[in-house]
Amino acid sequence: MKSIHFWTLNSVLCLSLFGSLKAWEHSLNSRQPASMDTLSLEIKEIQLPSHSKVLELRNVSLRVTFNQDNSIDVLGGRKLNLASGQMTELNMKIPVDASWVRNDQLAFNLEFVQEGLIDVVIVRCAQVSKKISHYNRNYQCFIPGDNVALMTYRLGNEQVGVSGLAQN
């Protein structure tokens, strides 16, 4: 009788310990770096260069897509109109959900979209930012062939320093 009771007690202790270890292992595997809690994409300004191949952006929306799954209409349904040489400051912050970060990197697209029967992407700025828990990034997006950036934006948080300017 004593050996059965001892075996049962040992089994319960081993199962409890195993369950605790599995929960601890899951907790370690699902953790994000602390800086992911405050990660955001900041869109600073949009400027259509005066010597651009694109003469105007008329009635376009600005869409950001994270990891090809999560799209956000940055302007909230408003449309953007820019003629050659014009600039508009957005100074918008878009919070980045920590679940969108995979292996300490984030893939995202910023797209100027002309909506209609078929949506037409006028300009796409595609990025894959790596080691985002370590570095903030400033980016510029160019229309191919232009030497002045169409848009500047930043990915990061206030707790981490800014690295050099990347161009797209």
DSSP for 103-132, please give it: TTEEEEEEEEEE-SSS-EEEEEEEEEEEST
| 105 beta partners | 102, 130
pLDDT of residue 21: 34
Nearest of 97, 112, 133 to residue 54 by alpha carbon: 112
What is the number of alpha carbons within 13 Å of residue 39 lying toward its C-beta? 25
Position 140 scores a pLDDT of 92
A 10 A CB-CB count for 116 gives 8
For 35-167, CATH number? 2.60.40.150
The parts of the chain modelled with pLDDT lower than 50 are 2-35, 160-167
- pLDDT value at residue 38: 78
pLDDT in the model for residue 41: 92
Q: What was the pLDDT predicted at 5?
A: 41
Domain boundaries, the chain: 1-31, 35-167
Token readout for 132 is 């985002």
- Beta bridge partners of residue 88, listed in sequence order: 46
CB neighbours of residue 37 within 10 Å: 12
